Amino acid sequence: MLKSAYIVALALFSLNGTAAEPIVISFSHVVADDTPKGQGALLFKKLVEQRLGGQVKVEIHANSSLYGDADELQALLDDKVQMLAPSLAKFSDYTKQLQVFDLPFLFDDLDAVNRFQKRPKGKQLLTSMEKRNITGLAYWHNGMKQLSATRALHAPVDARGLSFRIQASPVLESQFESLGAKAVKIPFAQTLDAMRNGQVQGTENTWSNLLSQNYASVQPYMVESNHGVLDYMLVANSTFWYSIPHSVRTELEGIIDEVTYSVNNAADTQNREARQQLASDAKVHLISLSNEERNAWRQAMRPVWQQYENEIGKDIIEAAQTVNRRR
């Protein structure tokens, strides 16, 4: 009895006699709560507070409310936030290898993406930014990207001359240029305004983001192209992460495994439901592509692979190509 009281007292007070402060993890992201990443962040907070309450506190800042695309990675490096989950398209200033995920038509579906992320080459990419003080903790899925526009897009030629909002990724810029379109890098939080004021007439995103951002109000033509993937890397500031006492960090890693499992299981369903909701919206024109039409988009975008092969690494692209199931 006396011994356990002593242990509790030690846990509550640091050696100089003042109450020990909890470790605070500020987790910033740019999407809505009702999306795969938004739900993942909330579940992480809930489990940490259930299991490490008093020792670790998690603060979630959703919807670019604290930092957005333009400054969140710098905020992580400056230790103003400790965790983020940017889309894999947003790391090109820190590593060129992750650009593999932006190559159009590389992965047939989310299951193929999942297989790649679990194989040695995919796992290795989690450590590709260690030198920059960024530790990759897990991959979180969102889903396959679709196109939206102010007019119907059936063939690549229909995109010619339009301006598309893209995430800040050189590969995505080349992808739209290969269609004869213009690509404009715009932070996620400013995208709807850029659509409304006519700066862009098209974009690409997952069903859950297209729905939660209300893009259909301006760009009602949506093409089920599944031409690329939008996934995330859960990352931490490495100095911060490795300063967490080992036993607490191990507990956090266990929680992250659980949250990752949950996010990655639910993402596909969330996107299917978002697609259904958009499909039943009278103002949305949902365009499905025949195999032949989809192949035309693939042919138009495919030269991008060659352009980025040296930067990304041939070995990584080849490893990613082995994960599609041959039909």
Structure tokens at 199: 């700066």
- Measured CA to CA, the distance from residue 139 to residue 22 in angstroms comes to 27
**Residue 140 CB, nearest distance to ligand LMR (Å)?**
10
Span 255-314, contacts to ligand LMR by CB under 6 A = none
- CB nearer to ligand LMR: pick between 100 and 244: 100
Among 209, 226, 260, 271, binds ligand LMR (CB under 6 A): 209
Tell me if residue 89 falls in helix, strand or coil.
Answer: helix
Among 26, 39, 64, 87, binds ligand LMR (CB under 6 A): 87
Give, as one character, the DSSP assignment of residue 127: G
Pairing of strands 221-224, 285-288: parallel
138 bridge partner residues: 234
Q: Does 28 bind ligand LMR (CB under 6 A)?
A: no
Residues 6+ apart with CB under 8 A from 281: 216
Which among 4-12, 30-38, 133-141, 293-301 is the span making contact with ligand LMR, rule CB under 6 A?
30-38
Which among 29-37, 147-155, 293-301, 310-318 is the span making contact with ligand LMR, rule CB under 6 A?
29-37
Span 35-54, contacts to ligand LMR by CB under 6 A = 37
7 bridge partner residues: none
- CB nearer to ligand LMR: pick between 172 and 316: 172
- CB nearer to ligand LMR: pick between 168 and 316: 168
Tell me if residue 166 falls in helix, strand or coil.
Answer: strand
- Measured CA to CA, the distance from residue 251 to residue 52 in angstroms comes to 8
Among 30, 159, 195, 278, binds ligand LMR (CB under 6 A): 30
- Measured CA to CA, the distance from residue 169 to residue 160 in angstroms comes to 20
**Residue 165 CB, nearest distance to ligand LMR (Å)?**
8
**Residue 185 CB, nearest distance to ligand LMR (Å)?**
10
Angle between helix axes 314-321 and 303-312 (nearest 10 degrees) is: 120
Among 205, 225, 264, 270, binds ligand LMR (CB under 6 A): 205
- CB nearer to ligand LMR: pick between 56 and 129: 129
- Measured CA to CA, the distance from residue 274 to residue 35 in angstroms comes to 10
Chain contacts with ligand LMR (rule: CB under 6 A): 30-31, 37, 87, 142, 167, 188, 205, 209, 230
